[in-house]
Structure 1
Amino acid sequence: MTAPEPTRFNAYVLAGDPAWIATSIGSYYDMVDRIVVSFDRTHRSWSGHPLSVEESLRRIQAADPEGKVVLLPGDHVMGERSLMATETAQRQAALDAASEGADWVLQFDTDEVLPSPAALRREVAAADTAGAQALDFPLRNIYTATTDGRFLEQCGRFWGSQASYPGPVAVRAGTRLTVARQAGGVPHRRLDVARRNTDPAHPRNTPVHAVVPLDEAVLHLSWVRTEAQMLEKRQVSGYAHTRDWDRDLERWRWRSRHPLRTAAAAPFTRNAWDRYRVVALPALAGLEP
C-alpha cells in the first residue's frame, strides 16, 4: 500500500509590524516550504500611515536561514476602497501567491506565535480527513507583560480560559477570503480549549469539533510591547481610529504595573473582552519584542 503524500504547507504574512515578526515566523518556519511576505511598495498602511516595513524585512531576512521567504510588494493603500476591503484584497493576493505548490496555507499575523507545530500538523490532518477547507485553531489573547515577568491574558468572568478566532490559522490552497482572513461559506473544523465554546464573540452552543490543550493554543501578543512600540502602534494601526488611545494606553500602563489588582476585578467587569488573569508563559521565556 502506497503511503500518502506528506501535506505541503506554505504561509503568508503582512510586513509592517516588526515587534514579534521574527519570533512569529520562527515558530512555524520548519513546517513550511515558502513564506510569502506582502507589503505596500510605498511602505504605508491601509489607511496611508508610514509603516516600519524596512525594519520588518530586516528581521524577516535574519530569521530566514533557508531562503524560504518570497517578497511580494504591491499597492495596498485603500484609496476609494474601504479599509476592510483593502485588507481583504491584500490578504487574498498573498494567499493566492502562497497557494502555489501547497496543499494548505498558514495565515498568521506577525504578533502570533505557534507553541506547537506538531499540534497544528495533527489538526490539519484531521481537518483534511473531515473534508474541511479551513481550520479554526484557538488563540490566547495575551494583553501585556507585567513588571514581574508574567503576563496578563484575557479570560472569562471567573478566570477561565477564553479563546479567540480572528480567522482560520490554516486554509486549503486556493481558498477565497470573505472578510480580512475569514473564509465564509466553506466547511470549517473548529477547535477550542474546552469542550464548549469559550469565545464571547460566538454563541455558547457554537460547535467544537475537538479540544486543544491550552499550552498548544496560539499566543496572540498584540499588546505585549515596549512603550515606544505601543506609541507607534497608536499611529500606524489600520484600525487606530476605532479606539480611544489616550485612555487605552493609560489603562495598559496601569494594568502592567498592577496585574493582581487587574485580575481581581475580572468577576465585576461587564465587558467580556476586558477581563484578565495572570499567567506564566514558558514559551516566551527570554524573548522580547
Structure 2
Amino acid sequence: MIKAGYLLSYDYSYIFTSINQIYDEVDKIVISYDSDNKTWAGNDVFIPESFFTDLKKIDIHNKIIFYKDSFYIAGMKPMELETRQRNMMAEKLGLDGWHMQIDSDEYAYDFKKLASFLRKNNFLLKKAEKYPINFQVNFVTLFKSNDNGFFVVAPFKEKCMLITNYPKYEYARNTNKGQTLPLDYYLIHQSWARDEKEIVKKINNWGHKNDFDTNKFLDLWKNLDANNYSEFQNFHPIYDSLWKELSFFPSKNIDDFITLFSEKYPQEKIKHPLKFKKRIKLYLKSLF
C-alpha cells in the first residue's frame, strides 16, 4: 500500500491542490489536526467546517481519514511537536506499506510515475524494521509570486525527505535509520509564495519557528521584486548555499504553474538508486 499523511494547520486551503495530484494513486490518506485548534506554537487556528465538507466531496473512493488529537503541548518546542505529530499520524496510518508524509503546500505532479516505482519495489517492505529505506526527492521551491508568475529557487537541488518504509520519525520527516536514497523526481513546494499575512502566520507557527531570525528574513522577502530578484544568491535562511539563486517562471496562478512546469520539466521514469546486486540481495532476503 501507498499511504499519505498530511498535517493540517494554518495553510489548510492548499491541501486541495496537493491531494488532487496524488489521490488516484494512493491507497489511504490521513489528515491530522489539533483537537483544541492550536498550532505547534500554541496559537489559535480556525479551520471552517465547510473545509471538511469540501474535502469529503472530492473523496469519491473514501480514502481520507480525519484524525483529530491533542498535538499541542505547552512547554515543548515546535519541531518536537511536529515530529511527535508525524509519529502519531504514522501509527494512525498503520506502520506497514510505503509512507509518504506530504505537506499541504507540496504538489507531487505526475505522481503515477513515483507510485509505479514504489509498487515495483514492494519487496523492500517485507523486512522494513531490519532494512529501513528512505527516499528523497528534489524540491522546486516557490519563493514569491506577482501578477505575472513565480520566483523559483534554482537549480532544483534541494532535497526533501518524502517516503519511507520505516515510519518512525526522529526529526520532522527524517527517521535517521537505514539508507537514505535520492530519487530523480520533482516536488513543487509553494513554500513562501503566499501573501504577506499568510507568511507571517507561517513563520510564527511552523516547526522552524526558532531556527533563524524570521523577522529579518521576512524583511528580505518583502523587498524582493522583479527588478532585484537576480541579486538574491545563496540566501537560504539556515543553509546559505542551499538556495543559489532565483529564476522567474511566468504563469497565471498555481494550477497554471503546475501545468506549465510539468510540460517544461516532465517527470522522468525513475531509476532505482540502489545498485542491481544490492537490490537482488534485499529481494532474496525478503523471501525468507
Q: What's the TM-score once normalised by structure 2's chain length?
A: 0.73
State how far apart, in whole Å, the 1-side matches of 2:199 and 2:234 are: 28
Partner of 2:127: none
Are 1:220 and 2:219 counterparts? no
Q: Specify the SS of the correspondent of 1:138.
A: strand
Are 1:79 and 2:78 counterparts? no
Q: Specify the SS of the correspondent of 1:280.
A: strand
Deviations 1:116-162 (A, max 9, x none): 2122124324654667622112222221123422x22223xxxx432
Quick one: percent identity of the two aligned structures? 19
- Shift in Å at residue 287 of structure 1? 7.1
RMSD: 3.1
Amino acid at match of 1:70: I
Q: Which of 228, 232, 235 lines up with 1:261 in the alignment? A: 228
Are 1:183 and 2:150 counterparts? no
Q: Which of 43, 49, 57 lines up with 1:49 in the alignment? A: 43
Q: Do the aligned residues in 1 keep the contact of 2:235 with 2:243 (CA within 8 Å)?
A: no
Deviations 1:61-108 (A, max 9, x none): 3542333211111111132444333221211111111126x5212210
Q: Specify the SS of the correspondent of 1:135.
A: strand
Partner of 1:201: none
Are 1:39 and 2:9 counterparts? no
- Greater shift, 132-141 or 113-122, is seen at 132-141
State how far apart, in whole Å, the 1-side matches of 2:120 and 2:61 are: 29
Structure 2 unaligned blocks of 5 or more: 125-130, 259-288
Partner of 1:146: 146
Q: Specify the SS of the correspondent of 2:229.
A: helix
State how far apart, in whole Å, the 2-side matches of 1:122 and 1:66 are: 20
Instruction: Return the structure number with greater strand share.
Output: 2
State how far apart, in whole Å, the 1-side matches of 2:190 and 2:110 are: 16
Amino acid at match of 2:152: E
Q: Specify the SS of the correspondent of 2:20.
A: helix
Partner of 2:271: none
State how far apart, in whole Å, the 2-side matches of 1:161 and 1:238 are: 23
Deviations 1:229-261 (A, max 9, x none): 223324433433444444333322321x22x53
Structure 1 unaligned blocks of 5 or more: 1-7, 192-211
Amino acid at match of 1:9: I
Q: Do the aligned residues in 2 keep the contact of 1:11 with 1:34 (CA within 8 Å)?
A: yes
Q: Do the aligned residues in 1 keep the contact of 2:152 with 2:249 (CA within 8 Å)?
A: no
Partner of 1:206: none
- Shift in Å at residue 225 of structure 1? 1.0
Amino acid at match of 1:263: S
Q: Do the aligned residues in 2 keep the contact of 1:25 with 1:63 (CA within 8 Å)?
A: no
State how far apart, in whole Å, the 2-side matches of 1:133 and 1:281 are: 37
- CA distance 1:225–1:62, shift in 2 (3 Å): farther
Q: Which of 103, 115, 121 lines up with 1:109 in the alignment? A: 103
Deviations 1:14-38 (A, max 9, x none): 1112241111111111111221111
Are 1:94 and 2:89 counterparts? yes
Q: Specify the SS of the correspondent of 1:48.
A: coil
Partner of 1:3: none
Off by >4 Å, runs of 4+ in structure 1: 125-132, 267-270
State how far apart, in whole Å, the 2-side matches of 1:190 and 1:127 are: 15
